[in-house]
Structure 1
Amino acid sequence: MAVTLDDSFFQNPHAVYADLSRRGAVHRAQAWGGVDVWIVTRYAEARELLADPRLKKHGPTASSLFPPGNTTTIGTVLGDNMLFRDPPDHTRLRRLITAAFTARSVRGLRPAIVDIADDLLTTMSRQAPGRVDLMQSLALPLPIRVIGELLGVPPELRTRFSSLVIPILGSNLSDEVDHARIELTQLLQTIVAAKRTEPAQDVLGNLVHLRDDGDRLSEEELLGTAFLLIVAGYETTVNLIANGVLALLRNPAQMAALRADRSLLPAAIEEALRFESPLNTATVRYTDEPVCVDDVEIPAGELVLIALLGANRDERQFHDAGSFNVFRGDNRHLAFGHGIHHCIGAPLARMEAEIALDGLLSRFQHLELIEDEPLQYRSSTLIRGLLSLPISIGGRRPCRSGAG
């Protein structure tokens, strides 16, 4: 019998994945209100399939596999970018984007990220002691402001930019999303046009002028890539910060260890990525030919979801996988995917989360989860993200966090 990926699943996917994994690596499921899919829940099979060229990501073809009348679409907001492309198109686009999205350009954002985090934490500290929603106070605004820096959005346009991005990523109202998408496209076109006449050293400016043996991004690819950087850079980081803080709040001994030894921060970030991955599943793929998984044949032309949350808590790969442990070694999680579609923004997400957690622990001596009602997660097959994270803060420290 197919498992239904409905709201009860969204609120507690770990129990579903544990049950499925006990029975096998791949199962039939229904997602998005009745679309038949295959879901892969074990680590070894998930890692292998993430890099399997028989699983395709071409957006229009994947969309055609959805039943008529289903409102789920692929790539309409993201546009024309490498997320929904296969080689050789994906290879070309990733090469161009990697040349602009360099390690140096990411490192260069650190001072700005520290300043943004410090500004947000200072605003939070004015409410101490008291109650704040960490999502609204830190986890949501930090990445959107960093994306503004990444894309080189002029200061006078950043408030408008943020107001357009948020409904695209968080609204369930199709009219609101469509309106915001159109306006954001126009805003990005204006920014790109300005960068053509006045080159800038931000990532978008690099993409505008980058050439590789005469090759360059088309206007559609450029805008699609900007959308991709917005969506991928926002969702992953928001949920990494919030899910990581929640894990620490529920594991006080782990938080105490991290307060005492900040050299554990990188390992804590990796454990947060494993323990409560920002993405529930990888973006949808489809089989181009029959694929055998754990003695089960998935026919050609079938939609496949790879459960990153399930794989990252697979006891076959991780000892005591259901426990959060900042001392965990050899943490080869799949939170950022694997293979040619491994998240290009992973270093930036890690850096933002590290700065945010370091600043939060430095600024507040007291952090406590408020559980006067159950926490609610977004109703999403793709995203593992909280709607809110109410916490009590105290022990305000007025000095800068020193997170840089």
Structure 2
Amino acid sequence: MVDLEEFGEGFRKDPHPVYAQLRARGPVHRVRLPGPGPRQEVWLIVGHEQARAALADPRLAKDESKIGFIPLDEELIGKHLLVADPPQHTRLRSLIARAFTARRVEELRPRIQQITDDLLDVMLAQDRADLIESFAYPLPITVICELLGVPELDRTEFRKISNDVVVPADPEIMHNAFARLADYLDGLIEDKQGAGPGSDLLSELIRTTAEDGDRLSPDELRGMAFVLLVAGHETTVNLITNAVHALLTHPEQLAALRADMTLLHGTVEEALRYEGPVETATYRYAAEPLEIAGVPIAQGEWVLVGLAAADRDADRFADPDRFDIRRDTRGHVAFGHGIHHCLGAPLARLEARIALRSLVERAPNLALDGPPQEWLPGVLMRGVRSLPVRW
């Protein structure tokens, strides 16, 4: 048993040395997770090959209700993609996937660019700012809220609720946040149902009917709205912030990008590999006894796939602790792998590319204005609460 709490604040700031130590001893470990509340013990996968295999292994299930456990999000929000297995997962994903095709996402490019430009107009009129507060947060929250049809006046309150859901200070705060979010989503859906057909994605989901007449139930609609709203912006905030932080702490890589914008795609992919926005995938459990890399895992035991750990595995990526925007990053698992591969990955990539290009071009003297302020607690999200910058 490895107690991750024993590594202290250093693990929160930089977990990669700990993951490297674990990988040196093997790709799978029994760990006790850090954080508030009861300390949970799980199996943690830190090897790249084993992580990709686990992410696509149907024996590692997501629907915890099958083992008599109803997670808080499912209890208060409803069934959604992150807590469903086939055939239910297949059905839910098919009802939403058409909204995230490459063509539909590309159609959002002009609006994403306009939002980006407007935010930078305000931010760059000053001398310095918190990148998250001024840019990395408002960009994706505006995009996803406009996409889903969330009123602008609700977005400040929604941010606090979302933060308490993803990185809660304690279990009671998380419970209250889920309850408030469920009430909010019910009201939002009710308003849209009463207002008649709209052009936003949530209105489209309310109307969507598959060829066989299938459509989302009220609970499923609430669950889908939850996943799209929370996962649709929290991860992109961290992607943009972590990418900027990596560039500013590796000036030779930033100079290379400035000199050749064809490296933009590689920059985003390397940022995903080097310091992706999600540290571990959401929980899986063993639906039957199995072995991973020779380690026996009993039926019903919890398994976490370490995305950040896998993407720093030297067996897959040479010199993995080096940030290199020219690297071949194919095979990274920042967005997962298999049937649960992030549905919104094309949108997140597009937002990150537009954000980075615009920021680099419009702020040629961009620099850190102090260290990042507090890395997020827990092992789900990888990011900071603020990133002071100047230009």
TM over 0.5: yes
Q: Is residue 197 of structure 2 the alignment partner of residue 199 of structure 1?
A: yes
The 1:62–1:11 alpha-carbon spacing in structure 2 relative to 1, beyond 3 Å, is farther
Q: Which runs of 5 or more structure 2 residues have no equivalent in the other structure?
A: none
Partner of 1:331: 330
What letter matches 2:44 in structure 1? I
Is the 8 Å Cα contact of residues 117 and 355 (structure 1) preserved in structure 2? yes
Partner of 2:295: 296
C-alpha distance after superposition, 1:226-282 (max 9, x if no partner): 000011112210110011001100111111111121121111100000000111100
How far 1:175 moved relative to its partner? 5.8
Partner of 2:126: 127
Q: TM-score, normalised by structure 2?
A: 0.91
Is the 8 Å Cα contact of residues 81 and 224 (structure 1) preserved in structure 2? yes
Matches within 5 A, 1:363-402: 363-371=362-370, 375-393=373-391
What letter matches 1:19 in structure 2? Q
Is the 8 Å Cα contact of residues 206 and 216 (structure 2) preserved in structure 1? yes
C-alpha distance after superposition, 1:21-64 (max 9, x if no partner): 01101011001542111101000000000000110111335783
Is the 8 Å Cα contact of residues 109 and 149 (structure 1) preserved in structure 2? no
How far 1:105 moved relative to its partner? 2.8
The 1:78–1:41 alpha-carbon spacing in structure 2 relative to 1, beyond 3 Å, is farther
The 1:163–1:388 alpha-carbon spacing in structure 2 relative to 1, beyond 3 Å, is closer
Q: Is residue 267 of structure 2 the alignment partner of residue 268 of structure 1?
A: yes
Partner of 1:35: 40
Is the 8 Å Cα contact of residues 63 and 74 (structure 1) preserved in structure 2? no
Distance 2:185 2:103 in 1: 24
What letter matches 1:42 in structure 2? G
What letter matches 1:208 in structure 2? I
The 1:252–1:31 alpha-carbon spacing in structure 2 relative to 1, beyond 3 Å, is same
How many residue pairs get aligned? The number is 384
Matches within 5 A, 1:160-309: 161-162=158-159, 164-169=161-166, 171-172=168-169, 178=175, 180-196=177-193, 197-212=195-210, 213-309=212-308
Partner of 2:355: 356
How far 1:120 moved relative to its partner? 1.4
Q: Percent identity?
A: 46
Q: Is residue 2 of structure 2 the alignment partner of residue 2 of structure 1?
A: yes
Distance 1:182 1:207 in 2: 22
Distance 1:160 1:20 in 2: 40
3-state SS in 1 of match to 2:313: coil
3-state SS in 1 of match to 2:296: strand
3-state SS in 2 of match to 1:365: coil
Is the 8 Å Cα contact of residues 120 and 137 (structure 1) preserved in structure 2? yes
Distance 2:44 2:155 in 1: 39
How far 1:171 moved relative to its partner? 4.8
Q: Is residue 65 of structure 2 the alignment partner of residue 60 of structure 1?
A: yes
Cα RMSD (Å) of the superposition?
A: 2.3
C-alpha distance after superposition, 1:187-237 (max 9, x if no partner): 433433343352223221221111111000001100110000011112210
Out of 188-197 and 25-34, give the one that drifted further: 188-197
3-state SS in 2 of match to 1:223: helix
The 1:174–1:60 alpha-carbon spacing in structure 2 relative to 1, beyond 3 Å, is same
The 1:330–1:248 alpha-carbon spacing in structure 2 relative to 1, beyond 3 Å, is closer
Q: Is residue 150 of structure 2 the alignment partner of residue 145 of structure 1?
A: no
Out of 74-83 and 112-121, give the one that drifted further: 74-83
How far 1:294 moved relative to its partner? 1.5
Q: TM-score, normalised by structure 1?
A: 0.88
Distance 1:268 1:374 in 2: 20
How far 1:96 moved relative to its partner? 0.7
Out of 243-252 and 150-159, give the one that drifted further: 150-159
Out of 132-141 and 89-98, give the one that drifted further: 132-141
Is the 8 Å Cα contact of residues 4 and 29 (structure 1) preserved in structure 2? yes
Is the 8 Å Cα contact of residues 45 and 305 (structure 2) preserved in structure 1? yes
Is the 8 Å Cα contact of residues 27 and 38 (structure 1) preserved in structure 2? yes
How far 1:4 moved relative to its partner? 2.1
C-alpha distance after superposition, 1:280-336 (max 9, x if no partner): 100011111122112211111111111001100100001111111111125220000
Is the 8 Å Cα contact of residues 58 and 86 (structure 1) preserved in structure 2? yes
The 1:109–1:170 alpha-carbon spacing in structure 2 relative to 1, beyond 3 Å, is farther
How far 1:122 moved relative to its partner? 1.2
Partner of 1:68: none
Partner of 1:136: 133
Q: Which runs of 5 or more structure 1 residues have no equivalent in the other structure?
A: 66-71, 394-404
